Amino acid sequence: MSKPSPEVYEQGKGMDAHNAVMREVRSRNDSTYDPREPTRVWIDEDNTPDGVYQSLTIILNTGGCRWARAGGCTMCGYVAESVEGGSVAHEDLMAQIDHCLDHEAEEADDESGLIKIYTSGSFLDEREVPAETRQAIAETFSDRERIVVESLPDFVEDERVSDFVDVGLETDVAVGLETATDRVRHDCVNKYFDFADFEDACEAAQEAGAGVKAYLLMKPPFLSEREALDDMIASVRRCAGVEGCHTVSMNPCNVQRYTMVEELYHDGGYRPPWLWSVAEVLKETADVSGSEATGGSSDEQSESDGEDLIVVSDPVGHGSDRGPHNCGECDDRVQRAIKDFDLRQDPSVFEQVSCECEATWEAVLERERSYSLPLAR
């Protein structure tokens, strides 16, 4: 695993301080989970470079993210739902897959063309999902069309990705980049790697015959609404300039249990992002392509360079106080517009929604400062 540089890991400061807080917060969790049942499974629709697919999304219950065991990301509570003990046996992980297939058979008329598999950390980390299990899962879904597996950049290696490519699956590696700004990733998210590591992972995925889906985090702690919005627009554009990255999924931060974000939220120091901010980022980046994102107008960056980047968002917990929300009256309408945009990539959908609370949001963008946020709940 990549390691933080000395300046961000100095004892009692930076990531070391963040990790100490996160370990203390997570120590309060005393829940236990069945290693033979997945954390979650659901049927949805997703936009891909090959069009819209019905998707089967699986969150496997593993021993938890390696980085989270050290302390981990300020906003991530998924490790709190992990199996105690640090590992789950191959047979139990495959029982979870069987559970998900049963769910699909009960809830969907047809098999899903797209399979998305996540864990609380990295699916490609063999401490979480052994090679034997990874290969068995690849065989299980070899009759589907496309698969997404999530991983930190460290574990994106040819032999691990090739298990899926070699059985004929169009394969995407989902990387939790969170932001293209290293300082925000280090200081606000408490994630150890740099943007250069993400670029290396994209190159490794391409060499294995796979693509990359970057996950960004809208409004980590310690950023104002304006800072978060601007960071997301810049991050989407920078991702578009990385060869091999064809999709960006922008996840608005929500308040998960046993996290630093939850501590700040209860103390009045954090508000999840406005749905208007999510819509604004999608509108502003709707026409981003690889060639446009790199800037300039040289011969190497002609109009034929770079395909359009797919930019989507799935605001989890929308409309609730702990999730991305507006005033409460318009939240469902804006959420539907976001989902419509995800599938059609047409920013005109946002012209169909409006609300008086837009004026409050605009005032927040203008007046809120990091040291005194949030200006409005």
The confidence band for 242, taking pLDDT boundaries of 50, 70 and 90, is very high
Where does the pLDDT of residue 11 fall: very low under 50, low under 70, confident under 90, or very high at 90 and above?
low
Overall average pLDDT of the 116-120 stretch: 93
pLDDT tens by residue, 144-175: 999 999 999 999 999 999 999 999 999 999 99
Q: What is the mean pLDDT of residues 320-334?
A: 97
Q: What pLDDT was estimated at residue 89?
A: 95
2 pLDDT band (50/70/90 cuts)? low
pLDDT computed for residue 373 by the predictor: 77
pLDDT above 50 for 293: no
Q: Does the pTM of the predicted model rise above 0.75?
A: yes
Question: SS in 3 state form for the chain?
Answer: CCCCCHHHCCCCCHHHHHHHHHHHHHCCCCCCCCCCCCCEEEEEEEEECCEEEEEEEEECCCCCCHHHHHCCCCCCCHHHHCCCCCCCCHHHHHHHHHHHHHHHHHHCCCCCCEEEEECCCCCCCCCCCCHHHHHHHHHHCCCCCEEEEECCHHHCCHHHHHHHHCCCCEEEEEEEEECCCHHHHHHHHCCCCCHHHHHHHHHHHHHCCCEEEEEEEECCCCCCHHHHHHHHHHHHHHHHCCCCEEEEEEEECCCCCCCHHHHHHHCCCCCCCCHHHHHHHHHHCCCCEHHHHHCCCCHHHCCCCCCECEEEECCCCCCCCCCCCCCCCCHHHHHHHHHHHHHHCCHHHHHHCCCCCHHHHHHHHHHCCHHHCCCCC
